[in-house]
Chains A and B, each alone.
Chain A
Amino acid sequence: MSDAPILLEMRSITKEFPGVKALSDVNLVVRAGEIHAICGENGAGKSTLMKVLSGVYPFGTYEGDIVYQGSETRFADIRASERAGIVIIHQELALIPELSITENIFLGNEPRKRGAIDWKSAQRQARELLARVGLREDPDTLIKDIGVGKQQLVEIAKAFAKDVKLLILDEPTAALNEADSRHLLDLLRGFRERGITSIIISHKLNEIEAIADQITILRDGRTVETLDVKADGVDEDRIVRGMVGRELSSRFPDHTPKIGEVFFEVRDWNVRHPVSAERQVCKNESFVVRRGEIVGFAGLMGAGRTELAMSVFGRSYGVWESGTIIKDGKEIVLRTVADAIAHGLAYVSEDRKAIGLNLLDDIKTSTVSAKLSKITKRGVLDEVAEYKAAESYRKELRTKAPTVDEGVSKLSGGNQQKVVLAKWMFTDPDLLILDEPTRGIDVGAKYEIYGIIQRLADQGKGVIVISSELPELIGLCDRIYTVFEGQITGDIPRQDADPETLMKQMTSTKKMQTR
Chain B
Amino acid sequence: MSRFKDLQKNLFGGTTSNARQFGMIFTLVAIVLLFQFLTDGLTLRSDNLIALFQQNSYILILAIGMLMVIVAGHIDLSVGSIAAFAGILVAKSMTEWDLPWPLAILFGLAIGAAIGAWQGFWVAYIGVPAFIVTLAGMLIFRGGNQFIGNANTIPVPEGFRVIGSGFLPEVGPNTGYNNLTLLLGLAACLAVIWREVQARRTRHEMDADAGPMWVSILRMAVMVGVLAFVALRFASGRVGTSFPVSGIILVALVILYSFYTRNTAGGRHIYAVGGNSRAAELSGVKLKRVNFFVMMNMSVLAALAGMIFVARSAASGPQDGNGWELDAIAAVFIGGAAVAGGIGTISGSIVGGLVMAVLNNGLQLQGVGTDRVQIIKGLVLLLAVALDVYNKSQGRFSVIGSIMRPFRREAPATPASSAAEREPAKTSVSG
Contacts and interface: CB of A to CB of B under 8 A. Distances in A.
Nearest to A384: B205
Contacts of B16: 360, 362, 407
B279 A372 contact: no
Interface string A331-369: 000001110110000010100001111111110010001
Contacts of B342: 358, 360
B268 A384 contact: no
Contacts of A336: 284, 286
Nearest to B281: A337
Given A358-B342, A373-B265, A384 B202 contact: yes
Interface in B260-290: 262-265, 268-269, 271-272, 275-276, 278-286
B195 interface: no
Contact of B265 (A381, A387, A405): A381
B279 A357 contact: yes
Contacts of B206: 383-384, 387-388, 391
Contacts of A116: none
Contacts of B423: 410-412
Contact of B284 (A19, A337, A361, A403): A337
A370 interface: yes
Given A360-B342, A410-B423, A402 B418 contact: yes
A423 B278 CA distance: 16
B282 A337 contact: yes
Given A357-B276, A358-B342, A360-B16, A316 B282 contact: yes
Contacts, number: 109
A179 B303 CA distance: 62
B276 A372 contact: no
A365 B286 CA distance: 17
A401 interface: yes
A369 B280 CA distance: 8
Given A316-B281, A360-B271, A379 B425 contact: no
Interface in A124-154: none
Interface string A14-40: 000011000000000000000000000
Contacts of B271: 358, 360-361
B272 A358 contact: yes
| Chain A interface category by residue count | 35 or more
B272 to A, nearest CB: 6
B213 interface: no
B80 to A, nearest CB: 30
Interface string B394-431: 00000000000000000000000010011111100100
Nearest to B340: A360
Contacts of B278: 354-355
A402 to B, nearest CB: 6
A380 interface: yes
B44 interface: no
Contact of B279 (A358, A384, A405, A407): A358
A230 interface: no
B284 A402 contact: no
B105 interface: no
Nearest to A362: B16
A365 B422 contact: no
Interface in A295-346: 313-314, 316, 336-338, 340-341
A410 B422 contact: yes
B20 to A, nearest CB: 13
Interface string B249-267: 0000000000000111100
A349 B282 contact: yes
B343 interface: yes
8 contacts: A18-B429, A19-B426, A355-B282, A359-B275, A383-B263, A391-B206, A423-B283, A442-B425
